[in-house]
Amino acid sequence: MTRATIRVLFADDHVVVRQGVERLLSAAGDIEVAGVAGSGPELRALLLAQPADVCLLDLGMPGGGLELVAALLGLRPGLRILVFSGQAQEQMAVRCFEAGAAGYLEKTAASQELIDAIHAVAAGRSYVTPQAAQLLARQLNGGRSTAPHERLSRREYEVFRRLAAGGSLTEIAAELGISVKTASTYRTRLMEKLGCSRNAELTRYALERKLL
């Protein structure tokens, strides 16, 4: 018995990455790349026009972020989202699962692991690295870490990462679909929680903890 074809949408803002992954998935035999997108808005439009089983999603592209996960699931509740991240950062994996993603995989993973992850989420299972699984288990057992950035709300965390990466409040507001005033409010809150007073301190905080 052969496997049913898995229809995948792939979103990443790097053309070379899109081309390479598209070739890899197409060679798998039972995976069809139904469409590719280079930004959050492009992906939303594509998803409305093109049915798919799995979305392979880079959160770092323009218009990406954790909020995009919830937005995509709102458009297609049955969609299985596999976050494909260039950041070796297990805490982000935990937040992706909290947002509704079915799996999380780093871009440093082997080609076969990417294929296996797509098969897993398409079959209704979750896909998680051992490191992220340990964090999830600790949280379920009431052992959540008390690191300052882990006390940020989902939206505060999104604003924090963008500020730490050098984004302006105007750019962040546009990406998240909020007003500049609201973005500024989130900045004030997260600064207090992290004990920072300048954006440069946010960047240093993020780099020291490998959050960028």
152 and 73 within one domain: no
d(CA 56, CA 104): 10
How would you write the pLDDT of the chain (212 residues) with one tens digit per residue?
346 799 999 999 999 999 999 999 999 989 999 999 999 999 999 999 988 999 999 988 888 888 899 899 999 999 999 999 876 566 677 788 888 999 998 888 889 999 999 999 999 999 987 766 766 666 656 555 567 887 888 888 889 989 998 999 999 998 888 899 999 999 999 999 999 999 999 999 988 887 77
3-state secondary structure of 160: helix
Instruction: Please give the residue range of the domain that contains residue 120.
Output: 6-140
Cα 9 to chain center, whole Å? Answer: 14
Is residue 1 a part of any domain in this protein? Answer: no
Phi, psi angle pair for 128, to nearest 5°: -150, 145
Q: Which strand (E) or helix (H) includes residue 57?
A: strand 54-57
CATH of the domain at 97: 3.40.50.2300
Tally of CB atoms within 10 A around 39: 17
User: Tokens in use for 117?
Assistant: 């992850």
* Bridge partners (DSSP) listed for residue 6: 31
Q: Domain count of the chain? A: 2
152 and 65 within one domain: no
111 and 31 within one domain: yes
Question: What pTM does this model have?
Answer: 0.72
Q: Which of 140, 162, 185 is the last residue of a domain?
A: 140
